[in-house]
């Protein structure tokens, strides 16, 4: 299964919890966060943790790539060399490390663990998470994985997180309108002293919303900040859609809101206040506001 969704929506937290839960259910688990060169190993095979540590400690610039492929190799060895019957391999933000052109091949190598194992097994769980929308198309066309979206936190769960933040803070409804339930944006707002403008300016820089980008796509961007569904119209250049996905500003071609298709609770069918349309949504209201701010500057 490949899970995709907005940056900071909770995919990594979900994966870490899944790793712990699967370990408690008797799985030998290899969890790798390639982007941050981090890992967790729930197994009695000491060599697994040692090899993961060696890869994560690599200072040659290849540490991320080594971790990505080592997760596959170790899962294979747990089944074949050490005879484990229940194995889980969980990989976080791996496609930046292996490259978009190899994303499909990487997913196929994980599928091969299930379809062509080195030895008989009882169960294998394979989950990959990514925030990169452009990767979804590359993986989806091969039918090598189930693709499932995850959205930002639902209101009540987000309120519990908000309540745990210490010190003075704006009313919950204001924070909800800024973040749309995105826990990372909540953290950024708290760190900035609740200065929304500072966070928006940071996103403008991070997403490279330059004058050239704005001038080139102004017509469609102006419509999209008012209603993201405008990007679903037939006259919108495909190049713009790919740019917005590559910069992790929007989620395009949203799934049916049937909970079956989603990890956790799906977003509403439409919420203009949060920038959510039926087929297209801004990743968070702050992403939309960053584009609006860039339009105002040019």
Q: Is the pLDDT of residue 230 over 90?
A: yes
Give the CA count within 13 Å in the CB-facing half-sphere of 193.
1
For the chain, how many structural domains are there in total? Answer: 2
| Domain containing residue 169 | 155-259+267-297
Q: Please check whether residues 178 and 99 belong to one and the same domain.
A: no
* Residue scoring higher pLDDT (17 or 101): 17
- Both 16 and 145 in one domain: the answer is yes
Rounded CA-CA distance 204/210 in Å is 8
Tell me which of 149, 172, 187 is where a domain ends. 149
Please provide the average confidence, as pLDDT, over all residues in the chain. Answer: 94
The predicted structure's pLDDT at residue 39: 94
Is residue 105 located within the same domain as residue 202? no
Q: What percent of the chain has pLDDT over 90?
A: 85
Show the tokens assigned to 87: 């194995």
Whole-number pLDDT of residue 134: 66
Q: Give the pLDDT band of residue 72 (cuts 50, 70, 90).
A: very high
pLDDT at 119 over 80: yes
Q: What does R_g of the chain's alpha carbons equal in angstroms?
A: 20
Number of CB atoms found within 10 A of residue 54's CB: 13
pLDDT digits (tens, 9 = 90+) for 261-275: 999 999 999 999 999
State the pTM of this model. 0.90
Residues 160 and 131 in one domain: no
- 176 and 278 within one domain: yes
Least confident interval from 26-35, 101-110, 167-176: 101-110
Q: Of 149, 180, 202, which residue is a domain's last? A: 149
CATH number of the domain enclosing 120: 3.40.50
Percent of the chain clearing pLDDT 70 (strictly above): 100
Task: Give residue-wise pLDDT tens across range 128-160.
Answer: 998 877 677 778 777 788 999 999 999 999 999
Mean predicted confidence (pLDDT) in 180-196: 98
**Contact 24/43 with Cβ under 8 angstroms?**
no
Q: Are residues 135 and 192 in the same domain?
A: no
């Amino acid at each position: 299964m490949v899970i995709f969704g907005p940056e900071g929506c909770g995919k990594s937290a979900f994966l870490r919890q899944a790793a712990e839960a699967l370990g408690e259910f008797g799985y030998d688990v290899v969890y790798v966060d390639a982007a941050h060169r981090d890992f967790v190993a729930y197994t009695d095979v000491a060599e697994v943790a040692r090899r993961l540590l060696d890869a994560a400690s690599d200072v040659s610039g290849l540490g991320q790539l080594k971790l990505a492929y080592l997760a596959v190799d170790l899962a294979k060895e747990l089944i074949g060399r050490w005879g484990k019957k229940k194995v889980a391999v969980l990989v976080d933000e791996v496609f930046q490390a292996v490259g978009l052109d190899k994303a499909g091949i990487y997913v196929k190598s994980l599928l091969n663990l299930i379809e062509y194992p080195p030895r008989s097994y009882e169960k294998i769980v394979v989950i990959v998470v990514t925030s990169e929308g452009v990767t979804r198309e590359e993986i989806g066309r091969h039918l090598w994985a189930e693709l499932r979206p995850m959205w930002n936190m639902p209101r009540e769960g987000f309120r519990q997180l908000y309540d745990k933040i210490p010190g003075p803070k704006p009313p919950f409804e204001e924070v909800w309108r800024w973040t749309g339930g995105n826990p990372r944006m909540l953290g950024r707002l708290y760190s900035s002293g609740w200065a929304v403008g500072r966070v928006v300016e940071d996103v403008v820089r991070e997403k490279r919303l330059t004058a050239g980008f704005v001038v080139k796509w102004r017509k469609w961007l102006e419509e999209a900040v008012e209603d993201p569904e405008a990007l679903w119209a037939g006259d919108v250049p495909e190049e713009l859609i790919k740019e917005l996905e590559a910069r992790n500003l929007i989620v395009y071609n949203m799934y049916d809101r049937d909970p079956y298709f989603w990890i956790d609770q799906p977003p509403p069918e439409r919420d203009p206040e949060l920038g959510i349309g039926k087929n297209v949504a801004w990743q968070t209201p702050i992403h939309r506001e960053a584009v609006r701010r860039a339009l105002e500057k040019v």
